[in-house]
Structure 1
Amino acid sequence: MATQTQGRSKALLWSGAGVGVVGIGALIAVAVADLGTADQLASVIGAVLAAVGLGLTLWGQFGGATAPAPAPAAPAAPVVTASGTGSVAAGGNIGSVGTGSGTSPAPGPAAPAPAPARPAPAPGSVTASGDRSVAAGGDIGSVSTGDA
């Protein structure tokens, strides 16, 4: 957006310079022919250019279209990988996990009072590799990786 604004500013600058050069040339030509007419013409042209300059200044300051702010990018989803027999990986919190051979873990204790808020972990990879391994991107309540 800044490049577009700079391009517009340069175009207005060169347009104004071009109008000024043409005006000066016309005034010199008229002054050579008739000095009284050149004086009157210079007064009228000066007043018109002053009004145009004021209008362009106000338009540049207040009337230019502004681009809307870009929407924030959504955070990338974490990469969650579990490899190995009975392994578990979670991108967030895990309440209760059992990786044994057919037995369920004992239910965890009652949920404790919520801990003070802490920032969420940064998006990243969560990997559980190996037999009966457990990995979490957040808190883990209860885990049993054995048969008992």
Structure 2
Amino acid sequence: MPARLPEGFAVVTDAPLDLAEHVAAVSSRADGAVVTFIGQVRDHDPDAADRVTGLDYSAHPDAQRIIGEIADRVRAEHPLVKLTVSHRIGHLEVGDLALVAAVASAHRGDAFAACEALVEAVKAEVPIWKKQYELGGTHTWVGL
């Protein structure tokens, strides 16, 4: 059984992300829907000339505050849901989890809408950049 984290957490962290922790933080017997999103490091990217082998995520010092504000805003826009979200920073290998979100609600429509809004806002607004390493030894910066 995963550790029970508080509902509503929104963090930028260098610790590995755990989907089960996110689900446990929002799930209850009253929820008929739990929608999750996992963003994982893939082995290719449109900006890469070769296979991606890993990446480093860097965050602006305000990233933690901003992800929290986004979670609060999405919660206010979707008052029938409980949600949580985490974005990882530091070095990640292909397959590692970079972004995890979980949203629970009595009904799936509310949960899907809130999860999509949450993930899209985090991707668009949280100041996090990635240095992407490629098979040939080169690297590119994405999101600067």
TM norm structure 1 = 0.28
User: Which of the pair has the greater relative contact order for Cα pairs under 8 Å at 6+ separation?
Assistant: 2
Give the helix-richer structure, 1 or 2: 1
TM-score, normalised by the number of residues in structure 2: 0.28
